[in-house]
Amino acid sequence: MEHVDPTIFRLAIFVLAIFVGYYVVWSVTPALHTPLMAVTNAISSVIVVGGLIAAAAASGSGDGWIAKGAGVAAVTLASVNIFGGFMVTRRMLAMYRKKEKPKAVETAAS
């Protein structure tokens, strides 16, 4: 029995995760899309932690500027993604708020 290359094995897991994620998201009812989006944005904050760890781990090595740059880029892009995602979620939630009725203007001709 031959061994499978680890790269091929990881690629197969990645492709399966794509299919599972696609079918899970499309099976969510429309009323739950906003909470799903909020949770997804919160989970993507793990990228920020990973970027900080990569930048901190690179401080001891000689070629650390590449890892530091990648860490800074990851933190920046993930922060923009998180902020934008929460702004979109906020706007989506605002669509469900009840609109206030304008108060009747009282006339002074009484």
Per-residue pLDDT of the chain (110 residues; tens, 9 = 90+): 588 898 999 999 999 999 998 898 888 887 787 777 777 777 777 777 877 787 777 666 666 777 778 778 878 888 888 888 888 888 877 887 777 777 766 666 55
Determine the Cα–Cα distance for residues 18 and 51; give it in Å rounded to an integer.
23
pTM of the model as a whole: 0.54
Q: Is residue 89 a part of any domain in this protein?
A: yes
Q: Is residue 40 a part of any domain in this protein?
A: yes
Q: Is residue 44 a part of any domain in this protein?
A: yes
Q: Is residue 101 a part of any domain in this protein?
A: no
What is the residue range of 36's domain?
Answer: 30-94
Determine the Cα–Cα distance for residues 89 and 3; give it in Å rounded to an integer.
46
Q: Is residue 42 a part of any domain in this protein?
A: yes
Q: Is residue 76 a part of any domain in this protein?
A: yes
Determine the Cα–Cα distance for residues 24 and 16; give it in Å rounded to an integer.
12
User: How many domains is the chain built from?
Assistant: 1
